[in-house]
A and B are shown apart, each in its own frame.
Chain A
Amino acid sequence: MFRFQSLNEDCMLEEEDDGLIEDEDEIDQFNDDTFGAGAIDDDWQEEHKRLAELDERDELGAGLGFGGGGMGGDSDLSTSERPSSTRIPSSVVHPPPPSSLASLSFSSSSSRLPPSDVEDRVGEGDLAESLARLILDADPAIAGVGAAERPGLPPGSSGSGLSALRGLDQPRVLPQPSPILPPTQPHQHPQHQLPPGLPASGLPPSSMLSYQQQQHLLRRGTAPMGQMSSHSIWENSMGFGPVSVTPGLLTHMEDNPLMSIIKEVGHPKRAPQGRNDEDLSERAPPPRSSSPVIGSPPVRAVPIGTPPKQPMSHALNHQIHHPTAVHVRAPVQHRYPAPFPERLSPNTLLNIANSPLCRGPFPPRVGPVLSQIQRAQLLNSQVAGFPRGGPPPLLPGGGGFRPFFGGPPPPHGHRMGPPPPHGPPNHAPPLRHNTTHLHPQHRRMLTQRMQSRGGDRRPGMDRRSRDPYSNLMTQKEKEWVTKIQMMQLQSTDPYLDDYYYQNYYEKMEKRQEKEQDSSKKEHTTKLITPQVAKVEHTYRPVQFAGSLGKLTVSSVNNPRKMIDAVVTTRSDDEEKREKQVWNKRRQILYTVEKMYSLLLEVQDFEKCFVQAPEEDREALLEQHKSNTEQLCSSLREKEWDDRVSDEQCVMIMSVRKGKRLISRLLPFLPSMQAAAVVMAIARNLPALAKKDKQDQVLCWLVEPVSAVIQSLSSASLTDLLQELQGSEGQLATVLHNKFGVTLLYVILSEGERMQSSDPNCQLMDDNRWTELVFSVTRELLSVPSSSLSPPLFTPPNLLSLFSRYVDRQRLELLQDKLQ
């Protein structure tokens, strides 16, 4: 089944492919739509040939013809050193008629496209193609920036390139500090090769065309031009400074027509392998799905700590002023995504630009170094305040890209305070951003000082200006190092990290305040270290709604606890009950212990008394009494209640030790209390018996209890017997228990003894005794012998007792049972 299906699918695909190949003309449209923007179906060999051709052309033309070619001076245009920008403002005012197109740039364009090309192709699809080619040849900025935001220029600006170029004068279009790249200042000879990425660098052919015409051409759509190789595009055009882009065109880069053309025509391929090494730092890592907070830190192609190649002053600012917990990402170079899938950083472009220029003794790799030197030279020249006998041979291209890739214009102070070339040397350079810490008064003082020093800068400056290698370390790099140093000073708790420095600093400040109460208050500079807010990081395991359990994702940013130890507590009720039980038991034990200690003292009293000397005896006696008292009181439930508490006794006797205690205690108790205790015992015998199942120590109580019983009066004896029989079935339980039986017999025997010994015994006065005995006998008879537990001892006079109450027959039975 599946196989069949797949076969079908395969067949389908083949059909589709065939269908695609059929219509050559429509391929690109389809490609565009189907396979995404920029998809080209091309033959690389053709491109290569084209490349070669272009290369040759470029080498001949030296590229600048583009810029010069534009506007009309034919003879002038041949010199490749004149920027088109100078021409543009002055010459073309109105959109030139199409017929004049031919006479213009193409005649002198270094691309060597015959003017007839344009003429012939006007109105043909090929025009668009050639136009596109020219555009791309001339101005890599388009391709490179493409959709880059062209700040400021409204699309509605007049179609001529002029006004737009004039618009370029405005700083917003030229975010680059003007002194470096003054392309639009006519009075100045711009450098030999302006940075190619300049917005001012233009597209001569496009500048020829009127806005409307361009639009027209673009909209016509282009036949697939084939892919322009990146090499040609970038190499040829990069160094060609005066190439100017019609801002109208520029602004329409964002529009679809041109974009589509560019897409169709070609996009720069990946830079060749030779350039990859240098691009590594600029190359953005492939997008990762992990977020910076949850996931692993992003992979950096270049380790953190590499000096930047790009301006990162804004990042510096941000870091110092608003240190965040987020890791530092790569410097923001790719803020303006290129319209093409591959991203070419400005440095890449720079390198490419430099490579043709550096051809010859220098391999392309030398590019960046040279660019540094170029930049340095440029700086030197400007710092010195005069053009250095012609522009430096190789202009740094890096500066040129700033307009594309730097958002807000970096403050002028970022440079080494280069005054505009035509400006007076006394012009005070603006303060740098890293002096924002300074007190405003201080800043004023500094600016004043700097201005005043403008004059005496000369002698020192000359030497430095003569140094061709100065300023190799760019401003950005200096800032970067400073930033690192400042970061090392960051602290959440300065008084903890740097206590002595803080105190010292405060002392110094105080001293200075005292000393310099006058106007020179802010004389000294202060280092204000960045303060990092203390952020409490509590670990919260990452959880998503609806997921079961916790994520297994663990990374540097969110280390996950390996063991999730969760405290489980039992329910409150159970706990309470258990607690109560334990508490009670503990209390009982405690009471028992206390009583025991007292008891022991009491028991030892005699010995002590005998041994103690005369004078101590009274004290001992006193103590003995108090002890006894205490013992008695401990049996009472409540302090004020004289009666022995049943509960207390039972509680005590629930513990093995307690029973022992009672047995030892009984002899020392006063008779009343002893009787009460025995009563309690008798009363609660079943319970006691039950509790005693494990211990089986109730029998310890027999002796003392019997001793007590023997001292009992008849009435109390009766009571006792009654208690013993108290509730229903109690007697049965009693009989089951050894102690109970023994107790019963003791009681009975005592009763008997009473009766037999003393004829005036009041035992028989009421019928209780008789009845009780009767019930006992009844019970005894009814209870089977097996369940009747043997007593500890059988008092001998029981039979005689029974004989009084029962008949002979039963007596015999009882006799049997008793044995």
Chain B
Amino acid sequence: MDKVCCCLEVDTHVIVTGVMSLYAHKKQQQHKMNYVPGTASLIDDIDKKHLVLLRDGRTLIGYLRSIDQFANLVFHQTVERIHVGKKFGDIPRGIFIVRGENVVLLGEIDMDKPCDTVLQQVSIEEILEEQRLQQQAKQETEKVKMQVLKDRGLSIPKADNLDEY
């Protein structure tokens, strides 16, 4: 699995690498074989800490324990990380099973790499509050926009359900 650039971590370390050539022999951190050389497979990512972004915008961090042919993922000791501005908060969630189609991107977290970010971790309540405020602000602007458009006789459909297209 190619490691994805992700700068959102504080306590864990993220590696930033370029996309590895598919034909280069991968660096073996374990003595495990590259199961399907020449292609991308999640098998080599098992038992490693990952960050996954879901289609609904959630960010989950956890140890990838199991996969299947649909890239359904089983995460262990999962933590949902909410970002609002420069702050973030972790909500421990336990075990997650993510249906493969809902994954936007998935990247391994390199524990070794030192991480320096500007993000500030806050408590859960605080981050939830922040998120709520953010949502509220967003809704209000949206409302205003809709009103303005309505006054002009235009209507733009909401982008909620774009996924269904």
Asked whether A and B interact, the reply is: yes
Identify the A interface with B (CB < 8 A).
305, 307, 416-417, 428-429, 431-432, 434-435, 438, 446, 449-450, 453-454, 457, 460-461, 463-464, 467, 469-473, 477-479, 481-482, 484-486, 508, 512, 523-527
Q: Is the CB of B39 within 8 A of A481?
A: no
In the assembled complex, B28 has its CB within 8 A of some CB on chain A:
yes
With A449-B28, A464-B30, A508-B23 already in contact, the answer to whether A473 and B37 are too (CB < 8 A) is no
- The yes or no answer to B59 lying at the interface (CB within 8 A) is no
Quick check: A434 and B69 within 8 Å, CB to CB?
no
Of B9-17, B40-48, B84-92, B145-153, the stretch lying at the interface with chain A is B40-48
Give chain A residues whose Cβ lies under 8 Å from the Cβ of B47: 464, 467, 469-472
Q: Which residues of B contact A438 (CB under 8 A)?
A: 37
Which B residues touch A508, using CB under 8 A?
23
Contacts of B65 in A (CB 8 A): 469, 472-473
Q: Tell whether A469 pairs with B63 under 8 Å between CB atoms, given A482-B41, A524-B24.
A: yes
Q: Which residues of B contact A461 (CB under 8 A)?
A: 30
The 6 A-B pairs with the shortest beta carbon distances in the complex, nearest first, are A527-B38, A525-B37, A484-B69, A470-B47, A473-B66, A524-B23
Complex contact A435–B66 (CB within 8 A): no
Name the distance in Å between A447's Cβ and chain B's nearest Cβ.
10
Return chain B residues, CB-CB under 8 Å to A478: 35, 43, 46
Nearest B residue to A427 via CB reads B31
Least distance between A212 CB and chain B CB atoms (Å) = 50
The verdict on B111 contacting chain A, using a C-beta distance below 8 Å, is yes
Q: Is the interface of A mostly helix, strand, loop or mixed?
A: helix
- Residues of chain B contacted by A526 (CB below 8 angstroms): 37-38
Type the 1/0 row for B1-32, where 1 means its CB is closer than 8 Å to any CB of A. Answer: 00000000000000000000001110011111
User: Any chain A CB within 8 A of the CB of B50?
Assistant: no
| Cβ–Cβ contact B32 & A525, under 8 A | no
Question: Footprint of A on B, CB under 8 Å?
Answer: 23-25, 28-39, 41, 43, 46-47, 63, 65-69, 76, 111
Query: Smallest distance from the beta carbon of A282 to chain B beta carbons, Å?
Result: 20
Asked if B33 and A432 sit within 8 Å, CB to CB, the answer is: yes
- CA of A472 to CA of B97 in the docked complex: distance in angstroms? 14
CB of B23 within 8 A of CB of A472, answer no
Decide: B33 and A431 in contact? CB cutoff 8 A: yes
CA gap between A472 and B65 in the complex, in Å? 6
Contact residue among B31, B38, B43, B111 (Cβ-Cβ distance under 8 Å from A463)? B111
With the chains together, A536 CA to B143 CA distance in Å?
A: 63
28 contacts between A and B (CB under 8 A): A416-B32, A431-B33, A432-B33, A446-B25, A446-B33, A449-B28, A450-B28, A453-B31, A464-B47, A469-B47, A470-B47, A471-B47, A473-B65, A473-B67, A478-B35, A479-B35, A481-B68, A482-B41, A482-B43, A484-B69, A485-B41, A486-B36, A508-B23, A523-B25, A524-B24, A525-B38, A526-B38, A527-B36
How far in angstroms is the closest Cβ of chain A from B128? 28
In the complex, the answer to whether A485 meets B46 with C-beta atoms within 8 Å is no
B66–A477 touching, CB < 8 Å:
yes
Q: Does the CB pair B46–A473 fall under 8 Å?
A: yes
- B148 → chain A closest CB, angstroms: 48
CB-nearest residue of chain B relative to A461?
Answer: B30
Closest partner residue, chain A, to B64 (CB atom): A473
Residues on B with C-beta less than 8 A from A457 are 30-31
CB distance from B82 to the nearest CB of A (A): 25
- With a cutoff of 8 Å between Cβ atoms, the chain B residues found around residue A527 in the complex are 36-39
Q: List B contacts of A486 (CB < 8 A).
A: 36
With a cutoff of 8 Å between Cβ atoms, the chain B residues found around residue A479 in the complex are: 35
- How far is it, in angstroms, between the C-alpha of A472 and the C-alpha of B28 when the chains are bound? 20
Structural contact, A460 and B29, CB atoms closer than 8 A: yes
Chain A nearest CB from B37 CB (Å) reads 3
Using A453-B28, A477-B66 as known contacts, list a sample of 16 further A-B pairs with CB atoms less than 8 Å apart, ordered by residue number in A.
A417-B32, A454-B31, A464-B47, A472-B47, A472-B66, A473-B46, A478-B35, A482-B35, A482-B36, A482-B41, A485-B69, A512-B23, A524-B23, A524-B24, A525-B23, A525-B37
- Chain B CB count within 10 A is highest, among A453, A473, A508, A512, for A473
B117 to chain A, nearest CB (A): 22
The CA-CA distance from A453 to B26 in the complex, in Å, is 13
- Distance A457 CA – B28 CA, assembled complex (angstroms): 9
Nearest Cβ on chain B to A500's Cβ, whole angstroms: 15
Is A460 within 8 A of B31, CB to CB? Answer: no
Determine whether the beta carbon of A450 is less than 8 Å from that of B31.
Answer: yes
Taking CB as reference atom, which chain B residue is nearest A417? B31
Q: Judge whether B37 and A307 touch: CB under 8 Å.
A: no
**In contact, A485 and B36 (Cβ under 8 angstroms):** yes
Contacts of B32 in A (CB 8 A): 416-417
Known A-B contacts A470-B47, A472-B66, A477-B66; the reply to A434 vs B31 at CB < 8 A is no
Query: Smallest CB-CB separation from B24: which chain A residue?
Result: A524
A307 to B31, CA, bound (A): 24
CA distance A291 to B130 in the complex (A): 65
CA distance A473 to B24 in the complex (A): 26
| Measured CA separation A463–B29 after assembly (Å) | 12
Instruction: Return B92 CB to nearest CB of chain A, in Å.
Output: 15
Question: What are the residues of chain A within 8 A of B34 when measuring CB–CB?
Answer: 525
The CA-CA distance from A463 to B109 in the complex, in Å, is 14
Which residues in B have their C-beta under 8 angstroms from that of A481? 43, 67-69
CB distance from B38 to the nearest CB of A (A): 3
In the bound complex, what is the Cα–Cα distance between A525 and B26 (angstroms)?
9
Q: How far is A600 from B41 in the complex, measured between Cα atoms in Å?
A: 86
Which residue on A lies nearest to B42, using beta carbons? A481
Give B25's nearest chain A residue, CB to CB: A525
With both beta carbons as reference points, the residue of chain A lying nearest to B21 in the complex is identified as: A524
How far does the Cβ of B27 sit from chain A's closest Cβ, in whole Å?
9
Q: How far is the CA of A431 from the CA of B33 in the complex (A)?
A: 8
* Chain B residue at minimal CB-CB distance from A445: B25
A434→B43 CA distance, assembly (Å): 13
Bound-state Cα–Cα, A560 to B111, Å = 60
Q: Which residues of B contact A460 (CB under 8 A)?
A: 29-30
CA distance A808 to B25 in the complex (A): 132
Give the residues in chain B near A450, CB-CB below 8 Å.
28, 31
What CA separation (Å) do A728 and B36 show in the bound complex? 101
Q: How far is the CA of A44 from the CA of B112 in the complex (A)?
A: 63
Please name the residue on chain B nearest to A489 by beta carbon: B39
User: Nearest Cβ in chain B — how far from A472, in angstroms?
Assistant: 5
Cα distance, A523 to B67, chains bound together (Å):
29
Give Cα A453–Cα B25 distance, bound, in whole angstroms. 14
How far, in Å, is B52 (CB) from chain A's closest CB?
Answer: 17
Chain B nearest CB, measured from A377 CB (Å): 13
A12 to chain B, nearest CB (A): 61
A contact residues around B35 at 8 Å (CB): 434, 478-479, 482
In the bound complex, how far is the Cα of B69 from the Cα of A469, in angstroms? 21
A429:B31 contact, CB within 8 angstroms: yes
Question: Chain A residues near B68 (CB, 8 Å)?
Answer: 307, 481
Q: Which residue of B lies closest to A454 (CB)?
A: B31
Name A456's closest neighbour in chain B (CB-CB): B29
Cross-interface CB contact of B76 among A307, A469, A523, cutoff 8 Å: A469
Provide the residues of chain B in CB contact with A473, threshold 8 Å: 46, 65-67
B26 CB, min distance to chain A CBs, angstroms = 8
Minimal Cβ-Cβ distance residue in B for A433 = B33
Q: How far is the CB of A397 from chain B (nearest CB, A)?
A: 21
Nearest-neighbour CB distance to chain B for A508, whole angstroms, equals 6
A464 to B48, CA, bound (A): 9
Q: CA A472 – CA B47 in complex, angstroms?
A: 8
Contact B33–A435 (Cβ < 8 Å): yes
**Residues of chain A lying within 8 A (CB to CB) of residue B46:** 473, 478
Across the interface, which residues of A come within 8 angstroms of B63, CB to CB? Answer: 467, 469
| Bound Cα distance A618, B28 (Å) | 102
**Whole-angstrom CA separation of A473 from B68 in the bound complex:** 10
A192–B63 Cα gap in the complex (Å)?
A: 30
Contacting residues, chain B, for A453 (C-beta < 8 A): 28, 31
Closest-CB distance, B103 to chain A (whole angstroms): 16
* Alpha-carbon gap, A129 to B35, bound state (A): 53
Chain A hits for B31, CB < 8 A: 417, 428-429, 450, 453-454, 457
Tell me how far the C-beta of A198 lies from the nearest C-beta in chain B, rounded to whole angstroms: 27
Cα–Cα, bound, A181→B137 (Å) = 62
Could you tell me the distance in whole angstroms from the C-beta of B33 to the nearest C-beta in chain A? 5
